[in-house]
Amino acid sequence: MKQAISSFIGRISGWKRSKRIVIAILFLIVLIALKVLTAQFFYTEIGYKPVQSDEDFRYALSVSPFTKDGFNEGYTYEYGGKQITSIEELEQLYKEKGATEMFVRIATKRHNDVTDKNAIDYTNATFDNTIELCKLAAKLNIPMNPELMCAYTYMDMEKQEAPDFQDYPEIYALQNGKDWSELSLEEIENVLYSYGRFMANEILGTGCTVNNWNLGNEANFGFAGVNLGLKNAVNPKLENQADFMRYLLPVFNVDWLENNLWKYNAKEFAAIKSGILQGYEDLEIDSSNVKFSTHIATVVMTPRACGRYFNCLAENGYAVDTAGISFYPSAPSMYWDSMILYKKTVMEINKKCGVPVFIAEFAYPSGEMSGQFAGWNKATKGYANSEEGQAAIYKDVIELGKSHGVIGIRYWAADYENWGTMPMFNFDENNHGTPKESLLIDIN
């Protein structure tokens, strides 16, 4: 009898626990739904004043990290009947189309001839490639915008690698034989300062001009090894965070990100910035107008979380001059109308952080997306996924940005065929690219 009663009580307790779990899940769903609805329908510009800047608008159309591989594989392009068969000729076209700077994404991997099949991306962002592109920028007399990822080969919102400095003996020696994951924050800062100084000397030593430095690539969830999901000695709590937390924390627990991640990243950013500025001093180059930024993905962040991110950096020693964002209107997000997400994000950063915004990555499909980016087919209200829609939204994002505290835009990977229908070129079976409407229009 006692066993039966005990079993019955156990079943009741189990049912109650299950009921509590179901209620908690339903509550979470309702909460998410309310946030989504609120985001969709409550939008106003009352009381908003865009941040003013004396900078010229940055048209950052540039060859991409994939362009060199493309030419090596036999890709060619044309514009206005002129054939384009080299990186220099393609960048010259972009310059003629109004581009005001070049871009280079930089990993800590140093040489092109060393590959690691376990790395995320082992070909496109080496130091060797960086120096080649910086020399080209100097030759074409166009400023360079370097992005120091401080990752071995790659990082973005979803994927992170810690840096690896074994190819830089003087810098690597500062780790005193420790693995990167064993370094304290102070030790990391010391290494990053030296790396920043080294990179500034090497990049500026090519003769190119750098007005803007970007640190990190979609750095919402970490930088330089202090990242969500990576083993590190700075905050061991980060290692065991599940991937899905990238989608929950920015919506429901920004405090956790501020206290467990972003405040540490700010110290890392500040260290590498100090090293870069020392590089200017080493070369006796004026750095008084040099600006610093980092950029984050917006699809997982509420506008409020974006503002808090840049404010947290400032409160912990790294006040950006420009707040960078990735804006992909066709990517999945909680906003049905992606242009509202764009406007609200820019307005929030302007109001709460007092800095202008730079769109560090932007692209829109001219047709159906497939493969890795099959989910990026959301048509933004008023803009079809067509060549005309691609051109129209690009131009409108620029025009709207100019009156809403945006100081520049980079159309991402305009010449990269494996980017689905996002590029500004159509490619035939012979890997020959002809311009789409988005490249033909006058963006000025």
Q: Considering only 90-94, 250-254, 321-325, which range has the smallest mean pLDDT?
A: 250-254
Quote the CA–CA distance of 385 and 208 in Å, as a whole number.
Answer: 38
Quote the CA–CA distance of 208 and 192 in Å, as a whole number.
Answer: 22
C-beta of residue 126 within 8 angstroms of C-beta of residue 141? no
Question: 184-194 in b/e burial notation, b at 16+ Cβ within 10 A?
Answer: ebebbbbbbbb
- By CB neighbour count within 10 A (0-12 exposed, 13-18 middle, 19+ buried), where does 422 fall? buried
- By CB neighbour count within 10 A (0-12 exposed, 13-18 middle, 19+ buried), where does 418 fall? middle
Among residues of the chain, what percentage have pLDDT more than 70? 91
- What pTM was estimated for this model as a whole? 0.90
Closest by CA to 51, choosing from 345, 433, 437, 347, is: 347
CA distances from 19 to 13, 15, 375 (A): 10, 6, 34
Q: Over the stretch 340-355, which tens digit does the pLDDT of each residue have?
A: 999 999 999 999 999 9
Q: Over the stretch 8-60, which tens digit does the pLDDT of each residue have?
A: 455 555 556 667 777 877 776 676 666 666 666 677 788 889 998 888 999 99
Q: What is the pLDDT of the chain when averaged over all its residues?
A: 92
- 55-440 CATH choice from 3.20.20.80, 3.40.50.700, 3.50.50.60, 3.90.1150.10: 3.20.20.80
- Check residue 336 and give its pLDDT: 82
